Structure 1
């Protein structure tokens, strides 16, 4: 065995390997949900029925599905619309907010476990500038991103891989997420009233 064979990998290669590990895990999760048919069953009608049958158990199932859906790239509006249709705008927004917080926590720790701080370790001046801004105002940055993108899975992945502290991640989420949820809940409730969809 030569010295080259026993040398550790170059530092620049490590973040790419961690990013690849995250992509593999997410792809496997997506494949399991896609080929078992479970992904197709996560839709507004099915989620409405979950709430209609049993509110307490339905909320637990709704939260679990939201967390899993976030990992397999399902948009959050599906869950918000379903909750609003079943519970009304106020309780629907509150249920979605609670489930979204759990989902954000799950995504953060799953992605961080496999990817570490891979994005922060990428070389280049652009990455350094972006992280310098994030580090200067972490809570405000997360809050503004939540205002625009809410719980978009790609945003959760990026924040988890950025090396951001969990408390900053959650505080920014708590500040930035309620506003857009209330607005979208009112929109879905109005749309449901026009179309005659609401159950509440």
Structure 2
């Protein structure tokens, strides 16, 4: 868990956004060409599949169950969100992903709180403990930040909030806000691919650009907040933590 600290260096977010945009445009172009060549199901067929699945009363329950199980297996959230969007369509998939993320996050938070600090210390290591001390006083902002910057596995991150003195409400609100750029990226990308299948290349390109813009904007904002938060962590780590012991010297 050596990477649970909020990161110090801000990599070139603009370069990341450009690469992401190029990758999306290549995917869209490939889908457009393959669709024109008749190599893929047409848009009406895909839409029909999505509608059937989205109308199933068990669809949301299944997504929640998968997210909760995947949280303990360490499966990346991008993969889970992309799967939900592919199965249920951009808008249902995005909504289901957000709800499932909120429930799985709450589950892992309370697992951490039930496990207690001693068990968490043995399992997570010193760096996660520093994060848990910090988030106890900055839960809402930090919960939003860690969804958009490289940290540790979300199981350990959410458990760190649980073992800290953080209020569940602040953790939950921050998580709900922080995960939105990631979900929006995948939802817009899914809508873009569907538009490419329909032959609407202009809409496909515009929604791909919207996906990159939303994610890049959120990423840059939260990276800046992370840099500020890391300065606070460094200051607090350098300060004395046992004034009573110091007074006795």
Superposition TM-score, scaled by structure 1 size: 0.57
Deviations along 1:139-182, one digit per CA (max 9) or x if unpaired, are 11111112336983332233223342211211211221222211
Structure 2: how far apart are the matches of 1:131 and 1:57?
Answer: 36
- The answer for the alignment partner of 1:145 in structure 2 is 146
Alignment of 1:34-73 (within 5 A): 52=53, 55-73=56-74
Q: 1:54 to 1:70 in 2, by over 3 A?
A: same
Secondary structure of residue in 2 paired with 1:148: coil
Q: CA deviation at 1:108?
A: 1.4
Structure 1: how far apart are the matches of 2:127 and 2:156?
Answer: 19
Indicate which of 146, 156, 163 corresponds to 2:158: 156
Superposition TM-score, scaled by structure 2 size: 0.47
Q: CA deviation at 1:94?
A: 0.8
- The answer for the alignment partner of 1:116 in structure 2 is 116
- The structure with the largest alpha-carbon Rg is 2
Secondary structure of residue in 1 paired with 2:76: coil
Structure 2: how far apart are the matches of 1:81 and 1:181?
Answer: 9
Alignment of 1:116-195 (within 5 A): 116-118=116-118, 130=131, 133-148=134-149, 152-190=154-192
Q: CA deviation at 1:101?
A: 0.5
Structure 2: how far apart are the matches of 1:97 and 1:166?
Answer: 17
- Which consecutive residues of structure 2, in runs of 5 or more, have no partner in the other structure? 1-48, 199-249
Q: Tell whether 2:100 aligns with 1:96.
A: no
Q: CA deviation at 1:98?
A: 0.5
Structure 2: how far apart are the matches of 1:80 and 1:175?
Answer: 16
**Number of aligned positions between the proteins:** 146
Structure 1: how far apart are the matches of 2:70 and 2:128?
Answer: 29
- Which consecutive residues of structure 1, in runs of 5 or more, have no partner in the other structure? 1-47
Secondary structure of residue in 1 paired with 2:113: helix
- If asked which structure has higher relative contact order (CA below 8 Å, sep 6+), I would say 2
Higher mean displacement: 133-142 or 184-193: 184-193
